[in-house]
Structure 1
Amino acid sequence: MKLVVGLGNPGKEYEKTRHNIGFMVIDKLSDKLKVYDFKEKFNGLLGEANYKGEKVLLLKPQTYMNLSGNSIIQVINFYKLNVEEDLIVVYDDMSLPLGKLRIREKGSAGGHNGIKSIISHMGDKFLRVKFGIGQSQDKDKIVDFVIGRFSKEEEEEVSKVLVHTSDIIMGMLDGVSLDRLMQICNKK
């Protein structure tokens, strides 16, 4: 069983913002996996698919970013999942240029509050897919930047990379080696 989590904030006001890129990836994955029924469970929206004989759970925590770990740990504990082997977390990363992807198996939070919350609940060894959103030009307006929407020009790039990101995660579900997937990400 795999649990794929997209980080974001609940509510219409946060839809399609930089900080909700994880939710957007989950939406692309739900199309690929034909998951159209998300239920309110574990302080999140949880969808379930059967992919090549394995159960795949898709989760959008509804706890707000800073408490994402609260939702995820409930799912981990309920299904008795192995954090290092079964969890994939997708989230926005300001340290990467717009549209750049990085895969990591462990590490620090890098200032991301959602990742800080997850680490506080289950340690730093879990698979991450970081989606670059670029950096704010004004360091005093970082919050406005991350909860801001993409420009029309950026939306085109984001749309392409959302498909690419969902393809990368499907590769993970297919058992493609992380080394190979990292090579693919580094080319984009």
Structure 2
Amino acid sequence: MSSPRLIVGLGNPGSDYADNRHNVGFWFTDQLARRLQAPLLPQGKFLGRVARVGELWLLQPMTYMNLSGQAVAALARFYKIADHETLVVHDDLDLPPGSIRLKQGGGNGGHNGLKDIQARLGTADFWRLRLGIGHPGERAEVVNYVLKAPRREEQELLDGAIDRCLLAWPLLAAGDYAAAQRQLHLKTV
């Protein structure tokens, strides 16, 4: 298994969205960038905020969630990063707050950011780090729910999940996805 070369945190740009559940991918990449001492800086060519550490790229698309694939495809194609070397970190309505799932490929679960990435890359074979945010219970409430800040107790669970992902980072960075899955999938919520 090869190490990831591109970590993409999904979210929406701007202060109006900064604390929204939909931005949990941004929260993770912000924390990882701090840990790696690699500031995320605007990079127009890649339509996002970008950091580089050796062969590893961090990306926060600034295209808004529904067009995330534009930024991902631009950077991946320019640096010839393979699908299996890409890890997309995103919110997941189907998992309770604080839950984590790591997998390669699969569907998009109705997540518009994933849909656009799949369309622009022409594949679904990239890795996903799914961070659970819970579901509002009614389909009609989903948009309103993901574009709001989590309740305090949910925020604590999300922060804990991000901390657990950072603890698993050495395994992810080494491309040991099986060991990372064993560590991340432990029931802690």
TM-score (norm: length of structure 2): 0.91
Greater displacement, 163-172 / 98-107: 163-172
* 1:117 counterpart residue number: 116
User: Which letter maps to 1:89?
Assistant: V
- 2:112 and 2:38 map into 1 onto residues whose CA distance is 28
- 1:124 and 1:169 map into 2 onto residues whose CA distance is 22
Q: Which runs of 5+ in 2 are unaligned?
A: none
- 2:115 and 2:40 map into 1 onto residues whose CA distance is 29
- 1:19 and 1:149 map into 2 onto residues whose CA distance is 9
TM-superposed CA distance for 1:37, in Å, is 4.7
TM-superposed CA distance for 1:137, in Å, is 2.8
- Which residues in structure 2 correspond to 1:151-170 (within 5 Å)? 151-170=151-170
Q: Which of 35, 38, 47 is 1:35 aligned to?
A: 38
- Which residues in structure 2 correspond to 1:1-188 (within 5 Å)? 2-41=5-44, 42-50=46-54, 55-84=55-84, 86-122=85-121, 123-175=123-175, 177-187=176-186, 188=188
- 2:162 and 2:133 map into 1 onto residues whose CA distance is 12
Q: Secondary structure at the match of 1:12?
A: coil
Q: Is the 8 A contact 1:39 1:47 kept in 2?
A: no
- 1:154 and 1:80 map into 2 onto residues whose CA distance is 38
Greater displacement, 113-122 / 162-171: 162-171
TM-superposed CA distance for 1:39, in Å, is 2.9
TM-superposed CA distance for 1:107, in Å, is 0.4
Q: Is the 8 A contact 2:171 2:179 kept in 1?
A: no
- 1:93 and 1:37 map into 2 onto residues whose CA distance is 24
Which whole-Å deviations, capped at 9, do the CAs of 1:29-62 have from their partners, x for residues lacking one?
Answer: 0111101251323111111113xxxx21110000
Q: Is the 8 A contact 1:45 1:61 kept in 2?
A: yes
Matched pairs, number: 182
User: Which letter maps to 2:118?
Assistant: I
Across the aligned residues of Structure 1 and Structure 2, the Cα RMSD in angstroms comes to: 1.4
Residues 14, 170 of structure 1: alpha-carbon distance in 2 compared, 3 angstrom cutoff = farther
TM-score (norm: length of structure 1): 0.92
- 1:33 and 1:14 map into 2 onto residues whose CA distance is 25
TM-superposed CA distance for 1:174, in Å, is 2.5
